[in-house]
Amino acid sequence: MRGEDYTQHDHADIWLTDNYLRMGLVHILEKINFDNTSLRYVFLSEQQYTDVLNHNYDLTTHRIVLLTDGTPFNFLSATPFYQLPKRVTVNELQNFIISIGYLADKPLATNKPVLLTARERRLIDLIKEGKKMAEMGKYLNLHIKTVYQTRQTLIKKIGCTGSIDFLRTLRSDVFKNWLVESHQYH
């Protein structure tokens, strides 16, 4: 944990590297009247995902909110995190925080975890290495159409909107940590 990235507020733990975002969030939290004072919020950015996981927050008393840079990370569907884009308006953020407080008695519903096949994991590695589709096909001993189809299936499975969003997701710390935690290699 880096001390400059972590601050405590009356009702929240804030794990953000962006000083402006942190100050704005603190300002918003000061204006909210919290009905449930036993509930604490944990706000984090993608960069602090591992630190927050290692902190082992009690999910009965804490609500974890991942502030994302773009589209939500659908592959985290089995993780009890709320997700919210960083670029929401002040009113949207206030309403979101208040709505979580009303749902304090109900645990966050999680979906079935996203599981990747060995072929999909290898395809991810090849994409990260910058291989072309034809090279991937030769390496995996697959027709190029099968490689393309597998990539499209993978994009949908992870919940990306397209190829650019998919590449951004593959490079994110959240995805890298999720891949290591939930899909152990040999």
Residue 144 to residue 78: CA distance in whole angstroms: 32
pLDDT tens sequence for the chain (186 residues): 455 678 888 889 999 988 888 999 999 999 888 877 888 999 998 888 888 888 888 888 889 999 988 777 877 766 678 888 888 888 998 888 888 877 655 655 556 778 888 899 999 999 999 999 999 999 999 999 999 999 999 999 888 888 988 998 898 888 888 888 776 543
β-strand pairing of 6-8 with 62-68: unpaired
Residue 37 to residue 41: CA distance in whole angstroms: 10
pLDDT at residue 139, as a whole number: 93
pTM: 0.74
Q: Which domains does the chain have, with CATH numbers?
A: 3-102 (3.40.50), 118-182 (1.10.10)
* 30 token code pair: 């000061």
pLDDT at residue 53, as a whole number: 82
Residue 14 to residue 5: CA distance in whole angstroms: 8
β-strand pairing of 12-15 with 6-8: antiparallel
The answer for residues whose C-beta is within 8 angstroms of residue 40's C-beta and 6 or more apart is: 11, 12, 13, 61, 62, 63
Query: Shortest CA distance to 167 belongs to which of 157, 155, 177?
Result: 155
pLDDT at residue 2, as a whole number: 53
pLDDT at residue 1, as a whole number: 46
Residue 111 to residue 91: CA distance in whole angstroms: 28
